[in-house]
Structure 1
Amino acid sequence: MSQPAQVVIPHLVVNDGNAAVDFYKKALGATEVLRMPAQDGKRLMHAEINAYGARIMLMDDFPEHRGTHVDAVFPPDQLKGTSVTMHLEVENCDAAVKRAADAGATVTMEPWDAFWGARYGRVIDPFGHSWSFAHALPAKG
């Protein structure tokens, strides 16, 4: 008996979660599902957005709760980069990259017709997270 496909939901750590939610609304056309402020009234303990049908969670960095745990998480600016790219399948890669760039993302790979049969491009958002966008190209022949 086969298992149903598992979905991985990214949980991003950022500096300025409120600004991140607002950015993702502009850059990805995301809809806000939930925003839970922290007790300090400035940071977000938890937020959830939906972009291109993908569920994405995020939170502000809370260094005071990080301690020395092996599983501590950091925002990309403290890591001097990120080891993960969030990939979104979209109707129009060029339009998605342009929308993200117009909202303040930095284009790191202009859209191109990739050898695997997709139009593909990448950006880095103002919070240091990497995003790629792609749509399938028509079959040749």
Structure 2
Amino acid sequence: MHMFPRIIVSDPDHASAFYKDTLGAEEVFRAPPLDDGRPSVIDHRVGDSSLRISPAVSEWGWLAPGDIGGSPVLLEVEVDDPDGIGERMSARGAEVIVPIENRPYGKRSGRIRDPFGHLWIITGDLR
């Protein structure tokens, strides 16, 4: 079995650039554009994982966090340098919700809302 999380955003190209810059995502597939010019999906490889990005299309039930008053999903990524990832995300418009710090459960982690409204737990080894 394979799972392919797909996040919905208003501007897939902007989101793709953000995740490339902040998470080191590599674009591996881009579907032909919809009538409005936005790609229907951009597939990325992030380490050993996949992250797909699609545009909000209300007729299809594809709604971005801003369309529903926030994100009901937490995306968790374990990285070698959570502080560096958090700083890059913040520098590119993300909001720190919970600072990245050493936690009592043995990880260094925090929570960030990206510029598209998606919530991320950024975690890694204690420092």
Question: What TM-score results when the alignment is normalised by the length of structure 1?
Answer: 0.82
Pairing 1:1-141 to 2, within 5 Å after superposition: 6-40=1-35, 42-63=37-58, 65-66=59-60, 72-137=61-126
Separation in 1, partners of 2:126, 2:9 = 34
Report the Cα offset of residue 41 of structure 1.
5.3
Separation in 1, partners of 2:29, 2:6 = 13
Separation in 2, partners of 1:124, 1:52 = 21
- 3-state SS in 2 of match to 1:37: coil
Question: Which stretches of structure 1, 4 residues or more, deviate above 4 A after TM superposition?
Answer: none
Question: What TM-score results when the alignment is normalised by the length of structure 2?
Answer: 0.90
Separation in 2, partners of 1:39, 1:116 = 45
Give the unaligned 5+ runs of structure 2. Answer: none
Greater gyration radius: 1
Report the Cα offset of residue 7 of structure 1.
4.7
* 1:59-81 per-position Cα deviation (integer Å, ceiling 9, x unaligned): 11122x32xxxxx3311000110
Residues 32 and 49, structure 1, Cα contact 8 Å, conserved in 2: yes
Give the unaligned 5+ runs of structure 1. Answer: 1-5, 67-71
Report the Cα offset of residue 38 of structure 1.
2.1
1:135 maps to a residue whose letter is G
CA RMSD of aligned residues (A): 1.7
